[in-house]
Amino acid sequence: MPYAPTHKPKTRIRIVNAATALFKKNGFENVTIDQVMAAAGLTRGGFYAHFKNKEDLFVACVENGMSLLSSPVLAQLRKAEMSGSDWVTSFAELYLSRLHIDNPDLGCALPTLSTEVSRSGDKARGAFSKLIDQASGKLAWKLAKEDGVPGMDKPVPVEGKTELPDVPEDYRTEATSMLAMMVGAVVLSRAVDEKTAETILASTRNTIMQSRDRLPAKTGQKAG
């Protein structure tokens, strides 16, 4: 009996979803095609009907809107935002925490992926660059929205593919720097002893909070 016309697209999405979860948890280098197909409930032979290799699969994961944050973290951020808490403070405290260091599968994919994709091919690095750009853009939007910049009120989810509003360039610069600082802090903290890790995490949290408090007024920021 022949497959339905929708079978191949559905199978491809199934593989992409399984791979996304594994890449986020274990990184790029530590995930094999066999593991992906097993997680998808499929045989290895079916992989090559959809992808040339693992790098091609990684690109597909990014293009499908790979979420960098896990559902528990997103839920906590939404809760903080709905309660009126400072979003940046909540995000920094969650990201730069012992819980995040000890549970990479529950946290952000950037620290796990960044140490491995750099050793991969141009296509994987290009896809990862796109992922960084998307993450910086969403963080820039959140910073601008929190500062009351006009035009930032439209809800934009922090996961998946979204069309972002035009964010002032200084916010993009701040977001890129903040993201690099936080990802670097997590990478370092996972490689050192607990005491050193706590120092790195606390110092980075303090630097981010201090920079937000003492930054001069930004383009379009509400007065008062």
Q: Which domains does the chain have, with CATH numbers?
A: 7-63 (1.10.10.60), 71-214 (1.10.357.10)
Identify the pLDDT of residue 195: 96
- For residues 153-164, give the mean pLDDT: 59
CB 44 within 8 A of CB 34: yes
CB 140 within 8 A of CB 179: no
Identify the pLDDT of residue 223: 39
Identify the pLDDT of residue 88: 81
Whole-number percent of the chain with pLDDT over 90: 32
Q: CB-side exposure of 167: number of CA atoms within 13 Å?
A: 27
Highest mean pLDDT among 41-45, 105-109, 114-118: 41-45
The SS3 of residue 91 is helix
pTM for the model stands at: 0.75
pLDDT higher for 194 or 128?
194
Identify the pLDDT of residue 134: 84
